[in-house]
């Protein structure tokens, strides 16, 4: 079960220890780039609080695993936490638990909520009822109010090992390899990537932009290749960034640290064709493209700019 990955983590083991020693705080903020991992861990934490052996078999464990435990409440009820959700949480924190002696609120993606909704929670987090616990999750702790953060025990979840995740991936080997490398230990992201049918195509585009694109005659072709991948533009830039990083590692003789180790010979070509300065400039060009797209510049324009800028950098660095 996927649970095993989370149970093997240092953060889980530490939490288990504090609960068994009776030292657990009442409010936690689980921080992970991977929202799914944070949510899974939150549910496991709830299980620990109610059944410290995390047996998985008792009625409490079973109900929590299936998100059906009456003493474990999940928020927000819609897409993001609103003031009404917070009001409900405050109200419910004063009602007695039904099945156990604890009441647990799991509040997911708290970074997406309004400041108002977060503010409404403050008092509960600050002076929790004896038997009430709050487990908040976020993938972007910068968007969580400092006042909320200061009242929570902050736990940063570390990514899992590739070896642990790969047993859960069922797709062809090429997709599996790319998903594991780009997923970088984040379980949900890796699983999601592994299911993408165009993952290899995206990689070819990222690789081609760095390796093959060399003359303005090809500009139109490459621009089209980018536009064809539509919503996956950010993934292309993410892969390109890793390739550039890999090339930089080769430049400083750290070949054994590159991410795309199976493509070492191609990465070497990129490293040989570009100076360190040139690689850094290429990185900036990709970053700029991501930013432009996030500012709602149209994809054709972003793609066109990207291709022209790559050519410019390559030309100037010659």
Q: Which is nearer to Zn ion, 14 or 53 (CB)?
A: 53
Helix (H) or strand (E) holding 296: none
Q: Which is nearer to Zn ion, 19 or 290 (CB)?
A: 19
Q: Does 58 bind Zn ion (CB under 5 A)?
A: yes
> Dmax of the chain from CA atoms?
72
User: CB 4 → Zn ion: shortest distance, Å?
Assistant: 16
User: CB 70 → Zn ion: shortest distance, Å?
Assistant: 16
User: CB 65 → Zn ion: shortest distance, Å?
Assistant: 9
Q: Does 252 bind Zn ion (CB under 5 A)?
A: no
Can you tell me which of 30, 51, 179, 239 binds Zn ion, judged by CB under 5 A?
51
Q: Does 297 bind Zn ion (CB under 5 A)?
A: no
Q: How many residues bind Zn ion (CB under 5 A)?
A: 4
DSSP 133-198: EEEEEES-GGGS-HHHHHHSEEEEPPPPPHHHHHTT--S-HHHHHHHHHHHTT-HHHHHHHHT-TT
Cβ(27)–Cβ(151) below 8 Å = yes
Identify which range of 54-62, 105-113, 221-229, 283-291 contacts Zn ion by CB under 5 A: 54-62
User: CB 37 → Zn ion: shortest distance, Å?
Assistant: 22
Cβ(310)–Cβ(285) below 8 Å = yes
Can you tell me which of 55, 156, 252, 297 binds Zn ion, judged by CB under 5 A?
55
Draw the binding track, 7-46, toward Zn ion (x: CB under 5 A; -: no contact): ----------------------------------------
Q: Which is nearer to Zn ion, 58 or 299 (CB)?
A: 58
User: CB 3 → Zn ion: shortest distance, Å?
Assistant: 13
User: CB 41 → Zn ion: shortest distance, Å?
Assistant: 17
Helix (H) or strand (E) holding 31: strand 27-31
Give the three-class secondary structure for 27: strand
Q: Which is nearer to Zn ion, 49 or 210 (CB)?
A: 49
- Give the DSSP letter of residue 55: -
Cβ(186)–Cβ(165) below 8 Å = no
Q: Which is nearer to Zn ion, 51 or 160 (CB)?
A: 51
Q: Which is nearer to Zn ion, 61 or 258 (CB)?
A: 61
Cα(216)–Cα(221) distance, integer angstroms: 10
CA dist 232 → 2, 87, 117, 199, 228 (Å): 27, 38, 33, 9, 9
b/e burial code for range 244-277 (CB count within 10 A of at least 16 → b)? bbbbbbbbeeeeeebbbeebeebbebbbebbeee
Cβ(117)–Cβ(144) below 8 Å = no
Identify which range of 48-56, 85-93, 267-275, 282-290 contacts Zn ion by CB under 5 A: 48-56
Q: Which is nearer to Zn ion, 19 or 311 (CB)?
A: 19
User: CB 59 → Zn ion: shortest distance, Å?
Assistant: 8
Q: Does 61 bind Zn ion (CB under 5 A)?
A: yes
Q: Does 99 bind Zn ion (CB under 5 A)?
A: no
Which spans of this chain sit near Zn ion (rule: CB under 5 A)?
A: 51, 55, 58, 61
């Amino acid at each position: 079960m996927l649970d095993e990955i989370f149970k093997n983590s240092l953060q889980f083991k530490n939490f288990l220890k504090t609960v068994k020693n009776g030292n657990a705080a009442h409010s936690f903020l689980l921080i992970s780039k991977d929202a799914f991992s944070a949510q899974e861990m939150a549910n496991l934490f709830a299980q620990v609080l109610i059944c410290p052996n995390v047996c998985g078999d008792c009625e409490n464990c079973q109900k929590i695993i299936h998100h059906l435990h009456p003493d474990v409440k999940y928020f927000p009820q819609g897409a993001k936490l609103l003031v009404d959700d917070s009001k409900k949480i405050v109200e419910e924190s004063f009602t007695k638990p039904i099945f156990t002696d604890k009441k647990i609120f799991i509040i997911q993606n708290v970074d997406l909520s309004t400041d108002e909704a977060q503010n409404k929670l403050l008092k509960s987090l600050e002076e929790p009822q004896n038997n009430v616990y709050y487990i908040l999750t976020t993938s972007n702790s910068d968007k969580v109010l400092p006042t909320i953060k200061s009242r929570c025990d902050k736990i940063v979840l570390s990514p899992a090992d590739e070896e642990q995740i790969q047993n859960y991936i069922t797709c062809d080997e090429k997709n599996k390899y790319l998903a594991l490398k780009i997923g970088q230990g984040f379980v949900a992201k890796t699983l999601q990537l592994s299911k993408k049918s165009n993952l290899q195509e995206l990689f070819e585009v990222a690789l081609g932009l760095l390796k093959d694109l060399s003359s303005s005659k090809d500009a139109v072709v490459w621009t089209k290749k980018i536009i064809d991948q539509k919503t996956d533009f950010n993934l292309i830039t993410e892969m390109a960034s890793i390739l550039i990083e890999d090339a930089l590692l080769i430049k400083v003789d750290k070949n054994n640290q590159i991410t795309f180790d199976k493509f070492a010979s191609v990465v070497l070509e990129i490293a040989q064709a570009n100076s360190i300065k040139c690689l850094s400039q290429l990185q900036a060009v990709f970053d700029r493209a991501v930013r432009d797209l996030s500012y709602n510049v149209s994809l054709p324009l972003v793609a066109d700019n990207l291709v022209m800028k790559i050519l410019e950098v390559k030309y100037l660095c010659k």
